Amino acid sequence: MQHKSRMRIIEYAITIWVIITLNFLLPRLIPGDPFLVLSSQEAEDEEIILSEEQRQYLFEYYGLDQPIHKQYFVYMGELLRGNLGFSLYYKQPVSEIIISRLPWTVFMVISAVVLSTLIGTIIGCISAWHREKWVDKSLFLFMIFFSEIPSFLIGLILLFVFAAGLGLFPLAGAVTHFADFQSGWSRIWDVIHHAILPVTALTISHLGGTYLLGRNSMTTVLEKDYLRTAWAKGLSQSRIIFRHALKNALLPIVTRVFISLGSLVGGAILVENVFSYPGLGTLMRQSVRVHDYPVIQGIFLVVTILVLLANFLADLVYKKLDPRVSS
C-alpha cells in the first residue's frame, strides 16, 4: 500500500513537470516572433511597432538569445520563486494579476460544486426511492436533458432571459462598482446577487452527473439486507434514506466531486465570459485578445496545478473514507 501511494505521488509529480515543460516549450516551438506583433486587431488598442533596437532589447530582457537549456533552467528557477513573468499588456507581474482574480473563480466553482452535489444527491435519492415510477422516470428524463447542455449555453439563456429581459439580476460583474453600502450585509447580498446566475448555470449543467451517480449508488444500497432490517424495525422513510442509506451511498459521490473539478473549471472559464465575471476566465479571454502570452500561460499553469492538487486530494480522501482501500 505504501508503495502504491508513493507511486501516485511520483505520477502527479511527473504530470506537473510535463505541464510546466509544455508551458515552457510551447511559445518557443511555435514559429514566429513574439515581439513582432505587440498589438491587436481590435480598434481600441493602439498599434505598437517596435524598432530593431527595441526588439533586441526585449530579446535580451527575456533571455531569448540564450541557448534553450539555459532558458529552461532560468524558467524553472523563476517558477520556484513564484515568478510567472511580467504581463505585456497590464504591465504588472502575472502572479499579482492572477492572485487578484483567483478568489472569484474559486468562489464560483466551489459554490457550484457544493450546490450541484447537494441538490443532485437529494434528487437522486428521491429518484431511487421511487424507482421505475413516474416520478423517477420524469426526473430522469429532465436531468439527462439538462446534463447534456454545456454550461455556457445555459448561462447565455439565463443571462438574456433573467438579466437582460426581466432585469432581475445584474448583467455583468461581481460587485456593484462605486456603490455606497449601508452595512456589511448589503455588501454580501450584492456579491450573492451578482453570483446567482453564473453559479446557477454551472450548477445546472453539473447536476445531471451527480444525480445519475446518486441514483445508481442509492439503488444499489437500497437492495442491501441491512436496509430491509431498517424497514422491518419500522423506521421512518426519511430516516432510512438519509441516515442509513445515504451514508453508504455517499462514497462515489464524494470522489466524483473532486474528479469532476477539471471539467467544471473548463465550464467556469466560459461561464465567466458569459457574465463578464471578473475571474480567471475573463482574464484569459482578454489576454488572448491582446496576445498577452505570459498571462495566458500563467493562468493555464495555476489552473492546471490547482485541478491536479484537487485530484490528488480526492485520492487521499477516498482512502480515508473507504476502509476497504486503506486496509
Place of cell 492572485: 99
Using CA atoms, how far residue 115 sits from 257, 273, 310, in Å, is 11, 21, 18
Q: What is the DSSP letter of 277?
A: -
Measure the CA–CA gap between 74 and 68, rounded to whole angstroms.
Answer: 10
Q: Which of residues 157-176 bind other proteins (CB under 8 A)?
A: 157, 160, 163-164, 171
By the rule CB under 8 A, 6 interacts with other proteins: no
Sign (positive or negative) of CA dihedral 111, 20, 313, 242: positive
Binders in 8-47 for other proteins, by CB under 8 A: 11-12, 14-15, 18-19, 23, 26-27, 30
Which span (73-81, 104-112, 126-134, 144-152) binds other proteins, by CB under 8 A?
Answer: 144-152
Is 62 a residue that touches other proteins (CB under 8 A)?
no
CB of 21 to other proteins, least distance (A): 12
Q: Is residue 316 near other proteins by the rule CB under 8 A? A: no
Please say which residue, 109 or 230, places its beta carbon nearer to other proteins. Answer: 109
How many residues sit in the footprint of other proteins (CB under 8 A)? Answer: 49
Q: Can residue 94 be called a binding residue for other proteins (CB under 8 A)? A: no
Which class for 267: exposed (0-12), middle (13-18), buried (19 or more C-beta within 10 A)? buried
Cα gap 186→48, rounded to integer Å:
44
Q: What whole-number distance in Å separates Cα of residue 121 and Cα of residue 209?
A: 10
How far apart are alpha carbons 96 and 210 in whole angstroms? Answer: 35
Nearest one of 189, 165, 192, 155 to 276, comparing CA atoms: 155
252 binds other proteins (CB under 8 A): no
Figure out which of the listed residues 85, 93, 150, 252 binds other proteins, where binding follows CB under 8 A.
150
Which residues in this chain contact other proteins in the complex, by CB under 8 A?
Answer: 11-12, 14-15, 18-19, 23, 26-27, 30, 141, 144-145, 148-150, 152-153, 156-157, 160, 163-164, 171, 261-263, 265-267, 269-270, 273-274, 284-285, 288-289, 291, 293, 296-297, 299-300, 303-304, 307-308, 311
